[in-house]
Structure 1
Amino acid sequence: MGKNQHVVPDPNGGWNVKGANNTKATKHTGTKAEAVNLAREISKNQNSELFIHGKNGQIQSRDSYGNDPFPPKG
């Protein structure tokens, strides 16, 4: 399983895609939608989790593209 990906706001404007525990962004984009699309592709390729943060830094949503430890029931 690869590194979890995070879409986070950049303090200087725009959005960053960052691997978990990375200090530098993998990619900087102008819009959140661009960052989410890019991070989703990386997460799918690495079979990892995607965490999408809001402007305040809190996690708004997450998607699992790997081995989900808590799969949905039903």
Structure 2
Amino acid sequence: MGKNQHITPHPDGGWQVKGEGNTKATVITDTQQEAIDAGRNIAKNQQSELLIHGRNGQIRARDSYGNDPHPPKN
């Protein structure tokens, strides 16, 4: 399982995709949606989670692309 990917505002403007624990952004985009799309691809490839933060820094959504230890019951 790879690093969780965080979508956060970039300090210089725009949005960034940052692997958990990384100091540098993997991808920098103009819009949050572009960052989400890029981060989703990375999270799927690494079988990790995508955590989407709002402008205030709080997590507003998360998607899991790995092995979920608590899958939904049918």
Q: Which TM-score tier does this pair reach, normalised by the shorter chain? A: over 0.9
Question: What percent of counterpart residues are identical?
Answer: 66
- Shifted more, 63-72 versus 23-32: the winner is 63-72
Q: Is 2:29 aligned against 1:19?
A: no
The 1-side partners of 2:47 and 2:5 are apart by 10
What is the aligned residue count? 74
TM-score by length of 2: 0.94
TM-score by length of 1: 0.94
- Which amino acid counterpart does residue 40 of structure 2 have in structure 1? R
Shift of 1:71: 1.9
Question: Paired residue for 2:70?
Answer: 70
Give the superposed CA RMSD. Answer: 0.8
Shift of 1:73: 2.6
